Structure 1
Amino acid sequence: MASQPDKKQEAAVTTHFGSADEFVRKQLIGSYRRRVIAHGSGGGMRWKAAWWDSEEAQQRMEALWRSWEAARQDEKAGMSSWWINHCDPHMKALLSPEGPFADSKDENRIGAPLPYTAAPDGMFKDDRQPLLYTEQQKQQQEEQEGQESQGGTQPA
């Protein structure tokens, strides 16, 4: 009988962050530092501290979060690929003077994190999910399916 994965193995296959908001708050705004200026201040990038107030931004941040979670599993080129193929294009669209934050009045200083305003309570539910099977979990699943196909395990 195969043993169950221990807590450490289970943690290794769940998302690191529980929501797009947690990802933005704890990862993105500190690592993606760009000078943003208020609408009416001329050209330049725009960002809204209440980013979650835009449906487009919510969808893009959800995509960025989920793709970041997948990329962190690839120890070789995953994060490089994430920056080039996911983060940069989404952030370019979001920060564009014509993007969803075009009318934002939020600003920051050069080198400072992007401004952030907490989302309303309950807006983002914790959604930690398994990402990938560990080899042990995959083997257990295959063994269980084999037993069921041979009639060795009765359905509950």
Structure 2
Amino acid sequence: MNWEEEAADGNEDVEEQPPAQLFYANVAEFVTEQLAPVYRRQLDPAGRSTTFTWCAQWWRHEEAVSRLTGLWRAWEQLRTDPSTGLAVWWRDYADPTMRVLFEEKGPFHGCTPRTHSPKGVPLTLEPPPDGLFD
């Protein structure tokens, strides 16, 4: 018997687990029902605060959507860990992600908690030389 056959034999007794059911159907539901209620910060409605910047229309910021989607998926994975899952989620995912989103010059720069008026622009790019990634 070769190593591939041995590996296959060893896995016969292992039952495949169905994927865990999502608690939230999508990132918007996660942000609305989980993140916003528990992540409380003092925000200046006029956006003059240099401490925390937020945009009520976070879903119009591609970077925020991507970061919050990752945060939601990490939460979905770690929420079922009864020991340190939530602590790991806060330490390794929520706090670093929210620090970036709340930064004064972060993805919401120019916006306020009431208005969407972004100042950021996409990174400028030049195409790579032909054949560089072939």
Q: RMSD of the TM alignment (CA)?
A: 2.1
Which stretches in structure 1 are left out of the alignment for 5+ residues? 1-9, 108-156
The residue number in structure 1 matching 2:69 is 62
| Pairing 1:9-88 to 2, within 5 Å after superposition | 13-38=20-45, 41-88=48-95
8 Å contact 1:37–1:44 — kept in the other structure? no
Which stretches in structure 2 are left out of the alignment for 5+ residues? 1-16, 115-134
Change (3 A) 1:37 1:69: same
How many Å apart are 1:100 and its aligned residue? 0.9
The residue number in structure 2 matching 1:141 is none
How many Å apart are 1:13 and its aligned residue? 2.3
Structure number with higher relative contact order (C-alpha < 8 Å, ≥ 6 residues apart) = 1
8 Å contact 1:39–1:46 — kept in the other structure? no
8 Å contact 1:67–1:82 — kept in the other structure? yes
Provide the rounded CA distance (Å) in 2 between the counterparts of 1:35 and 1:58: 22
Identity of aligned residues (%): 35
Change (3 A) 1:66 1:40: closer
Deviation string, structure 1 residues 12-31 (Cα, Å, up to 9, x no partner): 92010010000000000000
Counterpart secondary structure, 1:73: coil
8 Å contact 1:38–1:103 — kept in the other structure? no
8 Å contact 2:47–2:53 — kept in the other structure? no
Provide the rounded CA distance (Å) in 1 between the counterparts of 2:20 and 2:91: 24
- Give structure 1 regions of 4+ aligned residues with deviation exceeding 3 angstroms: none
Change (3 A) 1:54 1:27: same
Amino acid at match of 2:101: L
Amino acid at match of 1:80: A
* 86, 101, 120: which one aligns with 2:108: 101
8 Å contact 2:43–2:49 — kept in the other structure? no
Provide the rounded CA distance (Å) in 2 between the counterparts of 1:59 and 1:84: 19
Provide the rounded CA distance (Å) in 2 between the counterparts of 1:15 and 1:69: 6
The residue number in structure 1 matching 2:121 is none
Provide the rounded CA distance (Å) in 1 between the counterparts of 2:54 and 2:111: 7
8 Å contact 1:72–1:79 — kept in the other structure? yes
Q: How many residues align?
A: 98
Provide the rounded CA distance (Å) in 1 between the counterparts of 2:49 and 2:85: 36
Matched, 1:89 2:107: no
